[in-house]
Chain A
Amino acid sequence: MLNGIIRRILSAIPTLLVGITLCFLIIHLAPGNPATRFLNPSQTAATQEIIRERFGLNQSLPIQYFHWLKQVLFHFDFGYSFYNGKDCTEVLISALGPTIILSFWALVFALSVGISLGIFTALRADTHVDRVINSTMMIFLSTPAFWLGLMFIGLFTIHLNWLPGSHLHSLYYDQLDSFGQLLDSVRHLILPVFTLGLPLAATVFKYIRAGMIDALQSDYTLAARARGIRQSTILWKYSLKNSLLPLVSLLGVIIPALLSGAVIVEVVFALPGVGRAMVTAVFGRDYPILMAGASLAFFIVILFNIVADIFYRILDPRIRNSAGGL
């Protein structure tokens, strides 16, 4: 078991390396020079060279790459931002917080809404309620996230003035008591979490509903029913367990989707997350931040793939017990 997990983790390392190398090439081979930002009319060639040297851009690409890799692997040092000279690790760690909070709650929201509505509608397949919920979910699945976000802000922030439409906290957050702070954070999170979570909830819903309907019509469920086992037991022990399984592997798909979605949501709602840091870095050609962000995104996605794999193996008896499995 442990052996298998270690092997799975080791096998992810080449994936990670190839991915990071690809990122490096994409970023560094793209046309345009980050040092043009610092141009000014009196700038001499010598000054331009100094600025290039400051960023290590005067070296050849392979040297830049191996230097970068060495720093990352041995010192966990992603270098300094071209834009503001900040330590990339610091930038990302501080940006990771909001992204994690946002993604976590969006995931919780998506799973709870998706699973409960999925079960609810599967039990009422082909009724009016099912059709209404199904179509609503279809709409959320098909809405561009930014448009949803803008419409939410328009409705709930501007029109109704119920919820704030930007940032993580109010300006006077520090002046509030602890309950007030909690309330303040929750109010700020509602719209972004909805915006990010609704399309995901729709995805989860789709899988659960289909899985549940399949499971409810399957021979083992029918056989269980014939044996007189209680409906609720059938539902929880037989159907749900089997329809949750694909969800675990869906996790590997959801995480990249979450990160992509977070980019948009963070820009629309002015949240200080990784996505926004990356958008800023793309426009400012901030190579170190781009590299650090891409590596981080990569790492997270692969990590979750491994976790999903391991869970899958633990949960699925077919894999668990097969020869050579875990």
Chain B
Amino acid sequence: MKILPQKTQTNQSMTSGCITIGLVFIFLLLGPLLTPINHTSQNLSASLQPPSSSHWMGTDYYGRDVLARLVFGGRITWIIAIASTFMAVNIGTIIGLFSAYQGGWIDLIVMRLVDVMLAFPKLFVVLLIVGLGASSTSLLIWVLALFSWMEIARIVRSEVMSQKNRTYIKSVRALGLRTPRIVFIHILPNVLGPVIVSSVLLISTIILVESSLSFLGLGVQAPSASWGSILNDGRIDPLGTWWLSVPAGLLILTTVIGFNLIGNGLHKQLDLKKIV
């Protein structure tokens, strides 16, 4: 499929992003091979050991292997980020499509709602809900998704608005096609580009918000773990127990950079002005 302009050869941002994310992904996938130790097995007598040959990344309070926990926690972080992004993208796309295609009062009300939700400082309100409700991983995914769909909805709406008045849509409407068919077959594929770009960037944002919540003690709750919560384990003494705070922080940083790079790369590559 060659709908893209010929800019593919020199997209450094894309390449380096893919490599970064690929490496982190391989780490998460093959991590258990690096360390034979189960991430839950405790050894209370070997608590808070610095890195050594038996524990490459040291141990935490319970003498659990930090490397194993980084792998396990990373998977949770990724699952949360990807699951809530997936949900946010779906919610945002459907609302955006619906709102733009219906137009009129519905559009006005939906867009006001989007304004309202965008006006919430994200961390503030997620803090509010997660803090007031009992925090569980699934609640976290839901809340993160429910407060992230608005930008997607806006992008979809504005794209649909611009596509809607293009002549090809007028033409297929004149052919007598049904509305759902027009929306999903003709409009949707043409707005997916910007949606993909912003959802990749959204993954980064959600990873950052989740780790901030964990820092405030509201994110993923033990005995489950995420990079944010592992980092938070080391928060009591970030320098003294650097093997808890530094690797987790660096992994968050790397992943976020990776997704940002991919997002930027895609943005360049899908330079949508040139498609139509």
**Residues of A with Cβ closer than 8 Å to B?**
14-15, 18-19, 22-23, 26-27, 30-32, 138-139, 141-147, 150-151, 154, 158, 256-257, 259-261, 263-264, 267, 275, 278-279, 282-283, 285, 290, 294, 297-298, 301-302, 305
Contacts and interface: CB of A to CB of B under 8 A. Distances in A.
Interface string B230-241: 010001001100
Given A142-B257, A158-B239, A260 B121 contact: yes
12 contacts: A15-B116, A18-B116, A31-B133, A142-B204, A142-B208, A147-B252, A150-B235, A154-B239, A256-B118, A263-B121, A294-B125, A297-B124
Given A15-B115, A146-B215, A139 B124 contact: no
Interface in B102-147: 112-113, 115-116, 118-125, 127-129, 131-134
Given A150-B235, A279-B216, A32 B132 contact: yes
Contacts of B132: 26-27, 30-32, 282, 285
B261 interface: yes
Nearest to A206: B264
Contacts of B115: 15, 305
B206 to A, nearest CB: 12
Contacts of A18: 112-113, 116
B260 interface: yes
Contact of A264 (B212, B252, B253): B212
Contacts of A142: 204, 208, 253, 256-257, 260
Contacts of B212: 144-146, 264
State the main secondary structure of chain A at its contact with B: helix
Interface in B209-245: 211-212, 215-216, 228, 231, 235, 238-239, 245
A144 B238 CA distance: 15
B128 A26 contact: yes
* Max chain A C-beta neighbours (<10 A), residue from B113, B129, B215: B215
Given A18-B112, A138-B261, A146-B215, A256 B120 contact: yes
Interface of B: 112-113, 115-116, 118-125, 127-129, 131-134, 204, 208, 211-212, 215-216, 228, 231, 235, 238-239, 245, 249, 252-253, 256-257, 260-261
A32 B132 CA distance: 8
B146 to A, nearest CB: 11
A19 B239 contact: no
Given A14-B112, A144-B252, A31 B239 contact: no
Given A19-B120, A147-B211, A260-B124, 9 more contacts: A142-B204, A144-B211, A256-B120, A260-B123, A263-B123, A275-B124, A279-B127, A290-B128, A301-B119
Contact of B249 (A147, A256, A298, A305): A147
Given A144-B212, A144-B249, A256 B121 contact: yes
A138 B260 contact: yes
A158 B228 CA distance: 23
Contacts of A151: 238, 249
A263 B127 contact: yes
A261 B215 CA distance: 13
Contact of A143 (B119, B121, B215, B253): B253
A283 B131 contact: yes
B187 to A, nearest CB: 25
A264 B218 CA distance: 13
A302 B119 contact: yes
Contact of B215 (A15, A141, A259, A264): A264
Given A30-B132, A150-B238, A15 B119 contact: yes
A143 B257 CA distance: 8
A85 to B, nearest CB: 21
A222 to B, nearest CB: 18
Nearest to A29: B132
A267 B124 CA distance: 13
Contacts of B260: 138, 141-142
Nearest to A158: B239
Contacts of B124: 259-260, 263, 275, 278, 294, 297
B215 A144 contact: yes
Contacts of B216: 263-264, 267, 279
Contacts of B134: 31
A275 B132 CA distance: 16
A278 B127 contact: yes
A285 B132 CA distance: 8
A228 to B, nearest CB: 30
Contacts of B118: 256
